[in-house]
């Protein structure tokens, strides 16, 4: 739970889950109701963090899982300092495409990094500025990768991982949801985007009682 006056919602899920679409739809609803909305992403979300994003996603370096986690948390530290904490302090709704759960799912569950290492970094960097609500958009790896294929363009390092990686990734997100039921809501994201959006709105209304009517 964040310590500011705003609301912090993260969207998680495997590749091709539709996070960008759902963030845009929720942001539109909130903005129509006069709310200050900040849309952001990880890795990235601030100038320094965006530079680290380039290293992680678009360089051909074969990073060790610990090296990846360190880079993700370096980016997260800057993202929190420059973007998230100031927005929450002024009362904004922060909608973030990925956050700490992605590090646990990708580097932990999918790549095998010791969870203790991730939790140590989490305590040092996040320090209480966690999400009020996490929407986990669940798609099977086959559906997610098919969507990426239709999207076209170059794939990043994680999108190019093999099918076993994506199975472990999905399992990781579902395990995170089971461990944190008060914060996480799993939404079937294989359906039409409007149906998914309705479930997202329901989750936000149920979890955050201050959601504008």
Looking up residue 36, the CATH number of its domain turns out to be 3.40.50.300
Q: What would the pLDDT profile of 76-93 be if each residue is shown by its tens digit?
A: 999 999 999 999 999 999
Is 54 annotated as ligand-binding?
no
Length of the chain: 213
Is 13 annotated as ligand-binding?
yes
- Copy the structure tokens of residue 47: 């100038």
In whole angstroms, give the CA distance from residue 45 to residue 149.
26
Is 14 annotated as ligand-binding?
yes
Is 16 annotated as ligand-binding?
yes
Q: Is 19 helix (H, G, I), strand (E, B) or coil?
A: helix
Answer whether 102's CB lies under 8 Å from 53's CB. no
User: Has residue 22 been placed in a domain?
Assistant: yes
Q: What is the CA radius of gyration of the chain?
A: 16
Q: What pLDDT score was predicted for residue 60?
A: 67
User: Has residue 16 been placed in a domain?
Assistant: yes
User: Has residue 78 been placed in a domain?
Assistant: yes
User: Has residue 58 been placed in a domain?
Assistant: yes
Q: What would the pLDDT profile of 125-148 be if each residue is shown by its tens digit?
A: 999 999 999 999 999 998 988 887
- Copy the structure tokens of residue 14: 């495997």
User: Has residue 154 been placed in a domain?
Assistant: yes
Is 31 annotated as ligand-binding?
no
Q: 63 pLDDT band (50/70/90 cuts)?
A: confident
- Copy the structure tokens of residue 78: 């800057």
- Copy the structure tokens of residue 12: 């998680």
Q: Which domain holds residue 82?
A: 7-207
Look at the chain and report how many structural domains it folds into: 1
Q: What pLDDT score was predicted for residue 160?
A: 75
Residue with tokens 């294929």: 149
Is 19 annotated as ligand-binding?
yes
Answer whether 14's CB lies under 8 Å from 161's CB. no
In whole angstroms, give the CA distance from residue 103 to residue 191.
26
């Amino acid at each position: 739970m964040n310590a500011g006056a705003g609301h912090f919602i993260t969207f998680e899920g495997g590749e091709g889950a539709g996070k960008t679409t759902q963030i845009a739809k929720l942001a539109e609803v909130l903005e129509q109701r006069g709310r200050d909305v900040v849309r952001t992403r990880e890795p990235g979300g601030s100038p320094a963090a965006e530079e680290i994003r380039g290293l992680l996603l678009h360089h051909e370096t074969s990073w060790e899982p610990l090296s990846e986690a360190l880079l993700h948390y370096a980016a997260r530290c800057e993202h929190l300092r420059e973007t998230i904490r100031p927005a929450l302090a002024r009362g904004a709704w922060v909608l973030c495409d990925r956050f700490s759960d992605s590090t646990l799912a990708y580097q932990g569950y999918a790549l095998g990094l010791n969870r203790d290492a991730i939790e140590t970094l989490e305590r040092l960097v996040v320090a209480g500025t966690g999400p009020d609500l996490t929407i986990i958009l669940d798609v099977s790896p086959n559906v997610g990768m098919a969507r990426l294929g239709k999207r076209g363009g170059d794939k990043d390092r994680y999108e190019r991982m093999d099918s076993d990686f994506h199975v472990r990734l999905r399992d990781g997100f579902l395990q995170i949801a089971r461990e944190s039921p008060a914060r996480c809501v799993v939404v079937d994201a294989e359906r039409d985007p409007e149906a998914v959006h309705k479930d997202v709105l329901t989750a936000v209304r149920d979890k955050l009682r201050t959601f504008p009517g």
